[in-house]
A and B are shown apart, each in its own frame.
Chain A
Amino acid sequence: MSTVRVLVGTRKGAFILTSDEKREQWQVDGPYFGGWEIYHLKGSPADPNRIYASQSSDWFGQVMHRSDDGGQTWTTVGNEFAYAGETGTHQWYDGTPHPWDFKRVWHLEPSPSNPDVVYAGVEDAALFRSDDAGQTWQELPGLRRHDTSGIWQPGAGGLCLHTILLDPANPDRIVVAISASGAFRSDDGGQTWKAINQGLRSDYIPDPQAEVGHCVHHVAMHPSNPDRLFMQKHWDVMRSDNAGDEWYEISDSLPSDFGFVIDVHAHEPETIYVVPIKSDSEHYPPDGKLRVYRRRGGNEWEALTDGLPQENCYVNILRDAMSVDKLDPCGIYFGTTGGQVYVSADGGDHWQAIVHDLPAVLSVEAQLLP
Chain B
Amino acid sequence: MIRVIIPHHLRNLAGVGAEVSVAVAEPVTQRAVLDALEARYPVLRGTIRDYSTGQRRAYLRFFAGAEDLSHEAPDAPLPPDVANGKEPLRIIGAIAGG
Contact = CB atoms under 8 A, between A and B. Distances in A.
B51 A35 contact: no
A80 B51 contact: yes
B46 A79 contact: yes
Given A59-B94, A82-B52, A76 B43 contact: yes
Given A57-B9, A58-B96, A58-B97, A63 B47 contact: yes
22 contacts: A34-B12, A35-B9, A36-B9, A57-B9, A58-B58, A58-B97, A59-B9, A59-B57, A59-B60, A59-B93, A61-B50, A61-B57, A63-B46, A76-B13, A76-B43, A79-B45, A79-B51, A80-B45, A80-B51, A81-B51, A101-B52, A102-B52
B48 interface: yes
Interface of B: 7-10, 12-13, 43, 45-48, 50-52, 57-60, 93-94, 96-97
Contacts of B52: 82-83, 101-102
B51 A60 contact: no
A59 B51 contact: no
A102 B8 CA distance: 24
A62 interface: yes
B13 A61 contact: no
A58 B60 CA distance: 10
Contacts of B7: 59-60
Contacts of B43: 63, 76
Interface in A22-78: 34-36, 57-63, 76
B59 A80 contact: no
Contacts of B59: 58-59
B97 A61 contact: no
A61 B9 contact: no
Contacts of B13: 60, 63, 76
| A-side interface mostly | loop
B9 A82 contact: no
Interface string A96-130: 00000110000000000000000000000000000
A210 to B, nearest CB: 31
A305 to B, nearest CB: 32
Nearest to A80: B51
A83 B52 CA distance: 9
Contacts of A58: 58-59, 96-97
Given A58-B58, A63-B47, A102-B52, 11 more contacts: A57-B9, A59-B9, A59-B94, A59-B96, A60-B9, A60-B47, A60-B93, A62-B46, A63-B13, A63-B46, A76-B43
B93 A61 contact: no
A35 B46 CA distance: 18
A60 B43 CA distance: 11
Contacts of B9: 35-36, 57, 59-60
A58 B58 CA distance: 8
Nearest to B53: A101
Contact of B51 (A34, A76, A82): A82
Contacts of A59: 7, 9, 57, 59-60, 93-94, 96
Contacts of A81: 51
A102 B93 CA distance: 20
A61 B96 contact: no
A281 to B, nearest CB: 23
Nearest to B48: A60
Nearest to B15: A76
Nearest to A101: B52
B94 to A, nearest CB: 7
Contacts of B57: 59-61
A60 B10 contact: yes
Contacts of A61: 46-47, 50-51, 57
